[in-house]
Structure 1
Amino acid sequence: MPMSFNQTIIEEFRANAGRVGGPFEGGDLLLLTTTGARTGQQHTVPLGYVRADGLLLVVASAAGAPDHPQWYRNLLAHPVVRVELGAETFEAIAVPAEGDRRDELFEAVVRAAPGYGDYQAHTGRVLPVVVLERDATEPREVTSLADKLLEVHTWLRGQLRHVRTEVDAYFADGPPGGGRPPGLGLQIRQHCLAFCEGLTHHHTGEDAAIFPALARSHPHLRPTLDRLGEEHRVVGRIKDELVALLSGIGVADPEGFRAELTRMSAELEAHLAHEEDTLLPVLADIPFPPGR
């Protein structure tokens, strides 16, 4: 589909709270913004969606083309996406379904929108079904930089809990080689990547902007900020170890694997708690967003 046509649909969607005309008139349409796997640039595409089993689903059909669309390759590299649905905009984690679960969801998709069955019949690849998981954390009012820090930390803690819960479920059926709950491989991967990307983005912003500004306005905090900066480097190494650990989940010893994941989680939590203890009293006096 030519980009000029896509852009016309995008502009019409945003101007009319999700309502568009032409071939999409009356259809279920959303806008999905992904981060380029190679470029790191933001890309927005209009996509049809289906709701099934209480889930928000999109299918990487590319109208039955032989290759996966670029937006799907993007979300495999960067799972956190932005969704525009009607007049609402929110972040989600994109998790492709696997195995039997994918087949069940695809059947539900075809019941709601039979055209996807035709697309599948015209290509040799299995069309990915992607679940757009919206953050279930209760929104909180953000009026200060302290509120924003707690909002980010709450999200990070939730993602880390999600990874640990899915790892426990993955190993619930005994040693490697036994039965595995369908779909957990990609779920674990996507949530781990989302956590790691969120942590990196958070720490990069602190190191580049927030900490230098605090050091200028609150010189007595310099030793604390230097220590937190060093913790960022330690946490970065732990994050890299976490990614490497999860890449070997299929052949791992369950107890050893979970013990190591627990150790890493505890170190990450200790850093978040230390940052809150030292910075929240100061950040509470700084309005957010700036200029508030």
Structure 2
Amino acid sequence: MALEGAYDPSPAQWIREQVELYESSGGTQGTTLWDTGLPVVIVTMRGAKSGRIRKIPLMRVEHEGRYAAVASKGGFPRHPVWYFNLRAEPRVDLQDGPERRGMTAREITGDERDEWWERAVAAFPPYAEYQEKTDRVIPVFVLEPEPSAGPAPADAPARTRN
């Protein structure tokens, strides 16, 4: 089920324009980061403070139907605002070309982060430079498909409230 609510476009013009082109074309245009030609996806999330819908293009780092969201902010000392949005509300929508799906974001650490970090740098080599520019460890989230909605199997245990 798609996130619903009032949408606040990014204050950054290039982000607004890219999201608008990507979505208005059904995912057939605006699918690459304009200055690199490398593929991006659009991630829709809920703002942590406002509760309003936010949309951002992120580098496409996909593996077996899961995606990485790398909170690099170009190596700046602080996390991007969207990092806090995902921490507060991990339910997101992801558009990869024409395909849209509900996903859940999970921040990763340790060996799992290292594995995804390698994939991220392979997809977008400047991530390595960004990490060198900052003292913070650049956070990585894995976006995983939501379980398909539908009735539980007849033999599934009933859920109880604790």
User: TM-score range, shorter-chain basis?
Assistant: 0.7 to 0.9
Q: Which has the higher contact order (CA 8 A, sep 6+)?
A: 2
Structure 1 unaligned spans of 5+: 140-150, 162-264, 269-292
Name the amino acid aligned to 1:267: R
Change beyond 3 A, Cα 1:2–1:42: closer
Query: Percent of counterpart pairs with the same letter?
Result: 33
Retained in 2: the 8 A contact 1:49–1:59? Answer: no
Q: Does 1:115 align with 2:126?
A: yes
- Letter of the 1:5 partner, please give it: W
Match of 2:41 in 1: 30
More strand as a share of residues: 2
Shift of 1:22: 7.0
RMSD: 2.7
Q: Which has the higher helix share?
A: 1
- The equivalent of 1:42 in structure 2 is 53
TM-score by length of 2: 0.79
1:267 positional shift = 3.5
Match of 1:13 among 19, 22, 46: 22
Q: Secondary structure at the match of 2:77?
A: coil
CA contact (8 A) 1:75 1:94 kept: yes
- 1:30 and 1:114 map into 2 onto residues whose CA distance is 17
Of 2, 6, 12, 1:3 maps to: 12
- How many residues align structurally? 148
* Contact 2:60 2:123 (8 Å CA) reproduced: no
Distance change (3 Å), C-alpha of 1:130 and 1:121? same
Aligned partners of 1:34 and 1:81 also within 8 Å: yes
Looking at structure 2, the residues matched to 135 and 40 of structure 1 have their Cα atoms a distance apart, in angstroms, of: 21
CA apart distance, 1:116: 0.7
**Partners of 1:52 and 1:109 within 8 A in 2:** no
Report runs of 4+ in structure 1 exceeding 4 Å deviation: none
CA distance change for structure 1 residues 81 and 22 in 2, over 3 Å: closer, same or farther?
Answer: closer
